[in-house]
Amino acid sequence: METIRNDSPTNDTAHDDSTGQRSRLERAVDDRILGGVAAGLSRYLDIDIAVVRVGFVALGLLGGIAIPLYLAGWLLIPEEGSDSTIADELLDHAHRS
């Protein structure tokens, strides 16, 4: 069985060169279709983005669990280059109101 691996430069961002440890999980700015959750997960896990997207589709067809998982990721995973999540921003806005 052949393993498919994405060797694109964007996939190399998942690991820190100096320590070999994973960087933090972030929603991708590029390679995104909706919120960048699948692209961010693929980089973090160092797997092909198609595998993650097919996984979300499969989970969506098998009971719909993919929708709440994707929404949770969109709310709780910060976007690339940002320290705050959408949930943080919504809570900050609610506290200011």
d(CA 28, CA 73): 12
Q: What is the distance between the alpha carbons of residues 85 and 10, in angstroms, rounded to a whole number? A: 21
pLDDT digits (tens, 9 = 90+) for 31-80: 899 999 999 999 999 999 999 999 999 999 999 999 999 999 999 999 99
Strand partners, 15: 22
Taking the whole predicted model, whether its pTM rises above 0.75 is answered as: no
2, exposed or middle or buried, with CB in 10 Å at 0-12, 13-18, 19+?
exposed
